[in-house]
Amino acid sequence: MQNNIINNWQIENGEEKDVVLSSRIRLARNLKEYKFPNRSDIKEKTKVINYLRDKIFYLKDQNYDFYLMDNLNEIERNVLHEEYLISRNHVQYPNARALFLNNEKNISIMINEEDHLRIQILKPGLEFNNIWNEINNLDEQLEENLDYAFSKKWGYLTSCPTNIGTALRASVMCHLPALVLSGKIDNILGAVGKFGLTVRGVSGEGSNSEAELFQISNQITLGFSEKEIIEKLESVIKQIIAEERKSREYLLENNFLKLKDNVLRSFGVLKYAYHLDQSEALKYLSRIKFGQDTNLIEEKLDKNLFSKLLFKIKNAHLQYDSKEKLDIEELNIKRAKIIRNELNKE
Ligand SMILES: Nc1ncnc2c1ncn2[C@@H]1O[C@H](COP(=O)(O)OP(=O)(O)OP(=O)(O)O)[C@@H](O)[C@H]1O
């Protein structure tokens, strides 16, 4: 795998970056002339890869690197997974699965995931207009050369019926510490279901929330246009952003001392700890981001510290960075050192 696999797009600024870390749209597409991946064998999947390889390489606008999952080792696959560029199944079952990745590493096209193509674009902050234009453009370019499985009645056909229609999922990764601290999070997130949206953990379906990060996305893909789905999600997200900011103000006014103590203790731990496991590090980093966004931390820190460290301190990234195999103790020591170095910079 190329050395520059670890990407930088997350640390750029974006709209509403104090609450929305990143936005994502993904489209699921299948080829009419091949069995869908959940029905096909390795031979047919390999044919799909070879067929798509030629078509995708010649797309305009972007240069893509192509990776056969089998040719990457497990650490490399896990790095891609930690950056949300491939799914857990692409890591665990690499046989006859592939990935196209653009140079900026924010556009990924997984081949032979649940569907033949899983196309996604990620951008920092709340940024659906640009993502939609780009992904729609990319999809149209692909469609010029590919015969998609499409029904006039149902729209795009997918392996799982819950994706049929637009086969589009739009989502945001939100940082909601004040709603967590004020105990309002369950009510707010519970209410999003009424708008046809769903909340997932930080690593997608079936995962838990970590570092006060929540992924909110559309559940319904059928019966609405792509634009309607995106607009509805965006309007709910804007209300959640407003609620989070209101809770921050409330906490600052009514709980200032406790809050400042909590943030500065987290800062102290990360500044001096010698050994940190991943979830402990993420928990304290989340508080530091909160402290920066509410000006509770006076020290001049990189304003994108959280986004910068979020990936760098994860296990596969630490391992990838190291020449030899590290055990968990060594990973925890290395993680603490990277954070200490970052926080003790002049
Ligand atoms: N806005 C976002 N920013 C960064 N990463 C995201 C965002 N939204 C989702 N992800 C990540 O993308 C990955 C896929 O998410 P998820 O499982 O919800 O996927 P999906 O493509 O909709 O799949 P499925 O159709 O199987 O549910 C997860 O690792 C998730 O954390």
Q: What's the CATH number where 66 sits? A: 3.30.590.10
Q: How confident is the model at residue 204 (pLDDT cuts 50, 70, 90)?
A: low
Rounded distance from Cα 83 to ligand 1 centre (Å): 11
More confident residue, 176 or 206: 176
- Yes or no: say if 83 and 202 are a contact pair by the CB < 8 Å rule: no
In this predicted structure, the answer to whether residue 254 has a pLDDT above a threshold of 80 is: yes
Q: Is 287 annotated as a binding residue?
A: no
Look at residues 165, 191, 208 and tell me which one is the last residue of a structural domain.
165
Is residue 202 a known part of a binding site? Answer: yes
Give yes or no for residue 6 having a pLDDT over 70.
no
Q: Residue 268's domain spans which residues?
A: 252-344
Q: What digits encode the pLDDT tens for the residues 29-68?
A: 999 999 999 999 999 999 999 999 888 876 666 688 899 9
Q: Which structure tokens are listed for 314?
A: 């994860």
> Is residue 229 domain-resident?
no
Q: Is residue 173 lining ligand 1, measured as CB closer than 6 Å?
A: yes
Whether 257 and 161 map to the same domain: the answer is no
CA 63 to chain centre: 21
CA of 35 to the centre of ligand 1 (A): 24
What's the CA gap between 149 and 143, in Å, rounded?
Answer: 11
Residue 271 within any structural domain of the chain: yes
pTM > 0.80: yes
pLDDT of amino acid 129: 93
- Among 148, 165, 182, the domain boundary falls at 165
C-alpha Rg value of the chain to the nearest Å: 21
Number of domains in the chain: 2
In a domain, 288, yes or no: yes
Specify if 112 maps to a domain: yes
Query: Who wins on pLDDT, 306 or 323?
Result: 306
The answer to whether residue 200 is domain-embedded is: no
pLDDT, tens digit (0-9, with 9 covering 90-100), for 273-319: 999 999 999 999 999 999 999 999 988 888 888 888 988 999 999 99
pLDDT digits (tens, 9 = 90+) for 92-124: 999 999 999 998 899 999 999 999 999 999 999
Last residue of a domain, one of 149, 165, 181: 165
Is 105 among the domain residues?
Answer: yes
**34 and 153 inside one domain:** yes
Contact 13, 304 (CB under 8 A): yes
From the alpha carbon of 26, which atom of ligand 1 is closest? 21
Q: 296 in helix, strand or coil?
A: coil
Whose CA is closest to atom 31 on ligand 1? Answer: 203
Give CA separation, 130 vs 4, 24, 242, in Å: 25, 11, 22
Rounded Cα distance, 149 and 36, in Å: 10
| pLDDT (0 to 100) of residue 298 | 86
**Does residue 307 sit within a domain?**
yes
**Is 20 annotated in some ligand binding site?**
no
Closest ligand 1 atom to the C-alpha of 172?
A: 1
Residue 187 lies in a domain: no
Rounded Cα gap, residues 27 and 169, in angstroms: 7
Q: Are residues 144 and 270 in the same domain?
A: no
Angle, in degrees to the nearest 10, between helices 128-145 and 42-57: 110
Ligand 1: which of 89, 205, 306 to mutate, judged by most atoms within 8 Å of the beta carbon? 205
Contact 117, 167 (CB under 8 A): no
